[in-house]
Amino acid sequence: MSESIEARMRALVDEINRQNYNYHVLDQIELTDSEFDALFQELKTLEGQYPQYILPNSPTQKVGGTILKGFTEVIHEMPMLSLDNAFKEEDVVKFDERIREKLTRDEMARLNYWAEPKLDGLAISILYENGVLVRAATRGDGVRGEDVTENVKTIRCIPLVLKGDFPSRLEVRGEAFMRRSVFDALNAARLKKHEKPFANPRNAAAGSIRQLDSKIAAERQLSFYAYSIGIIENNPKPFSAHSEALAGLASYGLPICPLNERAASVADLLAYQAKILAERDQLPYEIDGVVYKVDQYDLQEKLGFVSRAPRFAIAHKFVAMEARTTVLDVDFQVGRTGVITPVARLEPVNVAGVMVSNATLHNEDEINRLQVMIGDEVMIRRAGDVIPQVIRVALEHRDEEKVRAIIFPKTCPVCDSPVERVEGEAALRCTGGFSCKAQRIERLKHFVSRKAMDIDGLGEKWLEIFVNEGLVEDPADLYTLTKAQLLELPRMGEKSADNVLASIEKSRTPRFASFIYALGIRETGEATARVLASEYASLAALRAETAENFQKIDDIGPVMANHLVEFFKQPQSCELLERLLTHITIEYPVMAPKDVTELPLLDQTWVVTGTLHHFTRESIKERLLSLGAKVSGAISKNTTALLAGEKAGSKLAKAQELGVMVMSEDEFLVKYPE
Ligand code: IVH
């Protein structure tokens, strides 16, 4: 009898641990919440009746409950070092150079890097003996940390017992962190209870790990990714590289960040950084840079350490483009397709040299996620050319007396038409269509923009005046404007009027791709417009296409296909097209569109650098694409050729180093005349 109870308890422990692993490490769900709870409850009941059979890896041990008087000190058997920082591309190039200087030719040839996000939490060391978690410690000063075993045991994705073919002694190192969603919920709850909110997820994670009551730590739902190994003894399958070690840790059941990637060269490292930076705001957790590591252990060892940081690894930190300021008000902007976007009007603040006074709040879901109110202090971040983002509310500075909720309008702030929330979309939309002045103006702005019809003499201000004066309603009206009409407008002189008319005139023969893009069909961006222009021989063919056939084209999914068909079906768009076509003549590509096998640069990857004279950055890209090439931003061993203009810098050096063909602009023009 007791044997079967013990066996049942063991089976429950295994099954619940397997479910937990699937859920917290692999993101897979097999059981419903209630099925899972039933197993958990059964195990708890049996453990209550038969405490002698409680297993060390029982999931019930993960809910915390131990209360400590204080933390004991842990002396790390191997010190936990820190990383050197790089901020600029140059620093990364130098890092690579320093490494190559110390290696022989052969070593250099097999040198490989590993690139990982730099997680913004705190470093933790976890010791497993014979596969059982026996101790966990904070990094502390690198030599001495604090024993936080009880709290680390509550982290769901950290196994209490390893699986697979593990070493007898293993120290796993990695980052404990708090996901944004958990952080947002935690702060909302603290605010409700009139407790001081945490300033950021890192502080919240650190505060949770240093809880004396492990029940509280358990409630904080921390996450963890392993990023290296400290002590390792008696490994049945010794590792020769960092990437192998991570794969080994994964096989023992430890979570590894899925965004880690191999990189062969500096160019790959920089491309990785750019990719991760672009994804940064969408990640479920905060990161403050990326980390590059030499992969091979023998090379790591040869490179060694400088003071307290390894020579074989570096942190490429994102440049801080953040600042704190106050939300003075929230306005609602109506976009080209009627989407209503809340925009925070900010107390102007200098962010890395640029004054910022607006930031987008995206939509209602984002406002709810941020819990932002008018009057709040917010952290904003600027990145490249994109509109500044609100990344977090400084809830710890909130003055309840001074804040007020953001109320979404029920009708369009511009045309007063009702507002609707589209099923499955976060956005609110004005239902006014082209009767809405804001939508008309936005649509005109898009039509005249550089990548569309490129009518450069027509700025936003003039378009607004045209619409407000009732001179222009839609893009086709631009082509019937007369000088006399223009001269009647306030502040419009002879010269401006001539300029405006001349630039409209110049736009009468658009390229097919630019014309498709200019129509502003939902979801059809520049790249899609280009694909469509190469797939269809004429506008007539495009207009006659079915959603089914659109989807046969690479990169066009069902949503985009429906928007296309919908657009060409609408009487309003048909009427607009008819009128536009009486004024303009589309210039179709000369090449037979399906004749791709004859493209001279097919399957090649080109990179462009330096100053060009004949081409703009846009037009060279376009030209290379039309010759069949792919265009990339970084040189790697997969690059076919580098088109180098004047003042070419590090990319040229890199191309020469890798033996990539380099071509000047003149050579290119001779070889591929337009
Ligand atoms: S490797 C020799 N990898 O950054 C140091 N660290 O500045 C080994 N960190 O204390 C650290 N993400 O807390 C490494 N993917 C990653 C990391 C990472 C975050 C933190 C870690 C460390 C600090 C070093």
Domain boundary among 300, 317, 334: 317
Contact residues of ligand 1, CB 6 A cut-off:
81-83, 116, 118-119, 123, 139, 175, 227-228, 291, 310, 313, 315
Pair 228, 290 in one domain: yes
Pair 155, 199 in one domain: yes
- Are residues 170 and 162 in contact, defined by beta-carbon separation less than 8 angstroms? yes
Q: What angle do CA 278, 283, 287 make, to 5 degrees?
A: 80
Joined tokens for residue 398: 């909130």
Cα separation, 458 vs 461, whole angstroms: 8
Domain boundary among 551, 582, 613: 582
Pair 31, 106 in one domain: no
Cα separation, 29 vs 242, whole angstroms: 30
How large a percentage of the chain has pLDDT more than 70?
A: 98
Instruction: Tell me the CA–centroid distance for residue 323 and ligand 1, in Å.
Output: 25
Residue among 288, 292, 256 at smallest CA distance from 114: 292
pLDDT, tens only, 481-526 = 999 999 999 889 999 999 999 999 999 999 999 999 999 998 899 8
For ligand 1, mutation pick of 95, 175, 254 (most atoms within 8 Å of CB)? 175
- Are residues 173 and 77 in contact, defined by beta-carbon separation less than 8 angstroms? no
Pair 615, 466 in one domain: no
Lowest-pLDDT choice from 7-21, 234-248, 580-594? 580-594
- Are residues 327 and 367 in contact, defined by beta-carbon separation less than 8 angstroms? no
Structural domain boundaries, residue 122: 84-317
The helix or strand, by DSSP H or E, that contains position 36, with its residue range, turns out to be helix 33-49
Please check if 329 is assigned to a binding site: no
What pLDDT is attached to residue 595?
57
What pLDDT is attached to residue 433?
84
Domains: count for the chain: 6
Residue 139 lies in a domain: yes
Pair 117, 210 in one domain: yes
Q: Coil, strand or helix: which one is 467?
A: helix
Pair 232, 290 in one domain: yes
Residue 161 lies in a domain: yes
Counting from 1 in the atom list of ligand 1, the atom nearest the Cα of 122 is 13
Residue 599 lies in a domain: no
How large a percentage of the chain has pLDDT more than 90?
A: 64
Residue 600 lies in a domain: no
Q: Show which residues are catalytic.
A: 118
* CATH (domain of 501): 1.10.150.20
Q: Ranked by mean pLDDT, which of 196-200, 362-366, 376-380, 634-638 comes out on top?
A: 376-380
Pair 295, 332 in one domain: no
pLDDT, tens only, 306-348 = 877 899 999 999 987 889 999 999 999 999 989 999 999 999 9
Per-residue pLDDT band for 615 (boundaries 50, 70, 90) equals confident
Please check if 36 is assigned to a binding site: yes
pLDDT, tens only, 225-260 = 999 999 999 999 899 999 999 999 999 999 999 999
Residue 636 lies in a domain: yes
What pLDDT is attached to residue 290?
98
* CATH (domain of 54): 1.10.287.610
* CATH (domain of 377): 2.40.50.140
Residue 561 lies in a domain: yes
Please check if 116 is assigned to a binding site: yes
Please check if 257 is assigned to a binding site: no
Pair 31, 95 in one domain: no
- Rg of the chain over all Cα atoms, to the nearest angstrom: 30
Asked whether the predicted pLDDT for residue 155 surpasses 80, the reply is: yes
Which protein residue has the closest C-alpha to ligand 1 atom 23?
82
- Reported in sequence order, the residue ranges of 87-200 that DSSP labels E, i.e. its strands, are 113-119, 122-129, 132-138, 144-146, 169-177
Asked whether the predicted pLDDT for residue 674 surpasses 70, the reply is: yes
Instruction: Tell me the CA–centroid distance for residue 301 and ligand 1, in Å.
Output: 18
Residue 614 lies in a domain: yes
With left for phi above 0 and alpha for psi between -120 and 50, is residue 261 left, alpha or beta?
beta
Domain boundary among 262, 291, 317: 317
Instruction: Tell me the CA–centroid distance for residue 83 and ligand 1, in Å.
Output: 7
Per-residue pLDDT band for 21 (boundaries 50, 70, 90) equals confident
| Bridge partner list, 587 | 511
Pair 219, 150 in one domain: yes
Instruction: Tell me the CA–centroid distance for residue 139 and ligand 1, in Å.
Output: 11
**Any idea which residue has 């073919």 for tokens?**
165
Asked whether the predicted pLDDT for residue 592 surpasses 60, the reply is: no
- Are residues 396 and 332 in contact, defined by beta-carbon separation less than 8 angstroms? no
Pair 161, 207 in one domain: yes
Residue 220 lies in a domain: yes
* CATH (domain of 625): 3.40.50.10190
Pair 503, 520 in one domain: no
Cα separation, 460 vs 480, whole angstroms: 19
Pair 273, 340 in one domain: no
Joined tokens for residue 136: 């966990």
